[in-house]
Structure 1
Amino acid sequence: MVAGGVLLAGCSSTPSKPFADDPYYAPVVPSPPVTQMDVTGSMYQASQAGSLYSDIRAHKVGDIITVVLSESTQASKSANNDITKSANLTLDPINAGGRNVTIKGVPLDLQYKDSFNSNRAADADQSNSLSGSISANVMQVLDNGNLVIRGEKWITINHGEEFIRLTGIVRSEDISPDNRIQSVRVANARIQYSGTGTFADAQQVGWLSQFFLGDWWPF
């Protein structure tokens, strides 16, 4: 059974590793708008996109928005379980005809005592934080004006690479004038921070250890 489980664990498919230039995170390059040049003798053309007074905040597909990562989570949990149980039974010597009933000269009586005490305690404390920034592309403009954003950042360090990936939905009203938005204001946010290479592989558990530490191990 153990050998069969080891073979199943070894043959199980593993998810593909993240890689740079993933098409899913590729930026959107919008098609250039067709502009009509009007000969008016002026340097300013009203038909050209943009304005001296236009907002630079991201608002259309292909625009870039900077997300300021300021994530911090903390969770704690404690549990106490105390169970006490006891039983005591005493049966005095049986008397019949004014005399104790005996078996081979030993009075017939019974004494029984039982006690059970269980005390369990468990504590768990976990905290995580992530700070930095990442620029993402506007992938889609929804009918209500919200923007679907997606982006990634890869950093090569020695023999490995670290990356940050982010997807989510933001409101145009939450974007600051300098085209920034806090990560806490990104709806349906998916933030992934991990790495690849030698350093990341050293932290992975081998497939045989995964079997012995997994749910399939019966002991």
Structure 2
Amino acid sequence: MAGLFALAGCASGPTSIVTRPVRALPQPTLMAMDNQGSIFQAATAQMLYEEAVASRVGDTLTIQIQESLTGSNKSNTSASKNGNVAFKGPGSTSSMGGVIKELFDLNVTSTGSDSFKGTGSTDNANTMTGTLSVSVIDVLPNGLLEIAGSKRIAVNGDLNQLRFSGLVKKRDIKAGNVVSSQKVADVQLEQVGQGVVADANTVGWLQRTFMSVLGFD
């Protein structure tokens, strides 16, 4: 029983690849050192004829997820080897007879061949599209916006969670505070599920244990 519980403890799911926080942390309130006037404040001003662009911690923007990855790998290998060996006795004389004569007239021929041919191919295609609202969680010294966000949807006990994080340039943000995931650097994107549907597509921990211990066909 102790061994079973130990194996069960090793059956935890994979860790998340999104290491950044998925929401903006509370920021300390800083008192303005310079007063630009009773109405206009540069730190919080919004222009009448300009659309506000996400630029501060806590601002939100929309990520258009447009990820498509296709990979293919093919290999063909062939090899062959042929060999012939012949041996002929020194030859007998008229005075030889019986077994001795047969040994001296012995002719031996050996032929061998070996061939190998192997082929292999693998194809992989991943596509994910959709939209996700994320928050600016940090502004780096070089001006890049560190963004992250998550979306959780639960239906009839099944939970589906989408996580996203990366780095964005302000100039890549389009109207409406929208940016394509193809313009995001250091992207970490994952979709995980929990529930009956996810369990039906997951190998049990006991079966995984036997597969790892008994690693033969």
Q: TM-score, normalised by structure 1?
A: 0.79
Alignment-derived partner of residue 3 in structure 1 = none
Residues 63 and 87 of structure 1, relative CA distance in 2, 3 Å threshold: same
Is the 8 Å Cα contact of residues 71 and 183 (structure 1) preserved in structure 2? yes
Is the 8 Å Cα contact of residues 56 and 136 (structure 2) preserved in structure 1? yes
Alignment-derived partner of residue 150 in structure 1 = 148
Task: Give the deviation of 1:54 after TM superposition.
Answer: 4.5
Show CA shifts across 1:48-79 (max 9, x none): 82222444110000000111000000001110
For residues 12 and 86 of structure 1, what CA distance do their matches in structure 2 show? 56
For residues 56 and 99 of structure 1, what CA distance do their matches in structure 2 show? 116
1:24 paired to 2:18: no
SS in 2 for 1:77: strand
Show CA shifts across 1:154-207 (max 9, x none): 111222011110011111111112101110111111000121111111111112
Alignment-derived partner of residue 42 in structure 1 = none
Give the total of aligned pairs: 206
Alignment-derived partner of residue 77 in structure 2 = 81
- The alignment yields a C-alpha RMSD, in angstroms, of 3.3
For residues 132 and 95 of structure 2, what CA distance do their matches in structure 1 show? 95
1:72 paired to 2:68: yes
SS in 2 for 1:25: coil
Is the 8 Å Cα contact of residues 165 and 188 (structure 2) preserved in structure 1? yes
1:135 paired to 2:133: yes
For residues 11 and 100 of structure 1, what CA distance do their matches in structure 2 show? 82
1:56 paired to 2:52: yes
> What are structure 2's unaligned runs of at least 5 residues?
none
> What are structure 1's unaligned runs of at least 5 residues?
1-5, 40-44
Is the 8 Å Cα contact of residues 9 and 207 (structure 1) preserved in structure 2? no
For residues 28 and 83 of structure 1, what CA distance do their matches in structure 2 show? 62
Residues 8 and 94 of structure 1, relative CA distance in 2, 3 Å threshold: farther
Q: TM-score, normalised by structure 2?
A: 0.80
More contact order relative to length (CA 8 Å, sep ≥ 6): 2
